[in-house]
Structures are given as structure tokens and as C-alpha cells.
Amino acid sequence: MFNLNVDIDINSGFCFGVVYAIEMAEDILKEDGQLYCLGDIVHNDEEVKRLEEQGLEIINHERLKDIRDSKILIRAHGEPPSTYQLALENNIELIDASCPVVLKLQNRIKNSYDKEETIYIYGKHGHAEVVGLLGQTSNNAVVFQDLEELDLEELPREITLYSQTTKSTDKFYEINEVLRENGISVKTNDTICRQVSNRDKELRNFATNFDVIVFVSGTKSSNGKVLYKVCKEQNERTYFVSSIQDVKAEWFGMNESVGICGATSTPMWLMEDIKCHLEKL
């Protein structure tokens, strides 16, 4: 017995957008016993598995083309206009669980596009949210993950800048500053979700308070990879796990303190299960 003192970070776990999507899915599954979801409802295999056992079926956009007369859930990341158009054509009832923060951002980008502004989006290439944002511009906006992707000398002298909602606030404003220093007039739209962006600051404090940090996240979660790195920078004894099976006893010593935290896509029940497991070591 290691006699570990284990605490869970109260700020970790699902953001409100993910909570909203999962609650909607659970309500329909209780009523109908089956529901399609376009893409993983959350980037966490354990949570997806739990919902699949209740009747959730994950589909991709290719499969969507062949489905008719059914209910399909749109997850928190949102979707481009083409998905809504296809749903109309195929008599699909869309259960729209798009995060309100994402929907607001989509609307603002659409307004900018209608005004024929030159739109740049700071975000991850191919990310589901970014695909939805690009769709508001008929895929005419420029997406970049890092300033190195852009030729600052060739950039238009006036641009409208947006960001994926889960990006770092500090990095977003650093980008703004560099663009302005290079003579580019930037119409800045800060649409970053503070519930997500503040997690890194909270975790920096949390990670320093324990001997060992167990970071719980799905391997597909971009947010998880970023926040794990934040914890690792503060506490070298930080370990990434996706399930109880990943936990190794050799990480711990007698009477040590252990902090459990996770991404915005990490379910609290999973962190609680890992806590119970550690307390039995």
C-alpha cells in the first residue's frame, strides 16, 4: 500500500459546451434507444464507449450522405452550412448541440464574409470547429496554426482576424502584435472561450502542489495535449493516461500526494475512477 493522498482538480472536466451536447444525447437515447452523432461527441474514447453502450452511433460525413429520415446529433464543435443543407435534402432531423460560443463565432465570421472582409483564422488545420468556421466563408478564409505559415510581406495590409475558440489567449494577442509591428492593420475579434483558455493558468498552479500529477485525457484531444504539456512544464512527474489501464505503480512512492486533472473533454467519472484506483494501490 502506497497510502497516497489523491485530489482531483475541481476545474478539470467537461466545459459547458460538451456537457450540453452529452446531456442532449443522453436524453434522446433514453427516449429512442438509438442516435447518430456526426463525429466523436467528445475526444475521449472512454466517454464515447459509455454512450455507445446506450445506443449512440458515431458516423462520418461520408456516411451522412447515405442516411435519410433519421435524427443526427451535431456535437459542440459545430458544422458548416453544407451539413445543414444535406440534412434538408435527406429529411434528417438535426439535434444541434453546437456550443453557443462556437455558434456566435460562426455568425460573426459570416457577417465579416458578407462584408467582403479579408478573413484570417488562427486555428488547427482540419479541426472540426475550424472546418465549420471555414464553411461560413465558402472556404475562402485563410487558416494558420502558426505565424511561420504566413508570408508577412505578402499579407494584405488590412485583415480581419479570428481565432478557434480553444486557442491560447496570450498567443492570439502575440500574433496580433507581430502583425501590427509589420504594418498590417488588424481588425481583431477575440472569440476565445475563457472557460477553456483559463485552464492553463489554473493548471500551472495545480501542478505545483503535488508530488505526482496524473493527467487524464483522450489521445485525440488537442486541448489535452496542450494542457498535459502545461502540467509537465510545472511538474516533471506528470503522466498522461487515457484509462485506469495506463496507470503504473512505479510512478508513485510511499505517502506521496497525487493530483488528478484533465482536458475539457475528460469526464469527471473517469477521473473519479482513477482516484479510487490510486487510493487502493
pLDDT of 181 higher than 90: yes
Which DSSP symbol is given to 246?
Answer: G
Q: Is the pLDDT of residue 55 over 90?
A: yes
Of 129, 158, 177, 181, which residue is the catalytic one?
129
- pLDDT at position 69 over 90: yes
Considering only 50-54, 185-189, 200-204, which range has the smallest mean pLDDT?
200-204
Q: Is the pLDDT of residue 147 over 90?
A: yes
Q: Is this model's pTM higher than 0.85 or not?
A: yes
**Torsion angles phi and psi, residue 211, rounded to 5:** -70, -40
Q: Confirm if 102 and 17 have CB atoms less than 8 A apart.
A: yes
Domains of the chain and any CATH numbers: 5-13+198-279 (3.40.1010.20), 16-99 (3.40.50.11270), 101-192 (3.40.1010.20)
Percent with pLDDT over 90 in the chain = 93
For residue 215, give the C-alpha cell: 493527467
For the question of residue 129 being annotated catalytic, the response is yes
- CA–CA distance from 72 to each of 3, 18, 158, 183, 206 (Å)? 47, 16, 40, 46, 38
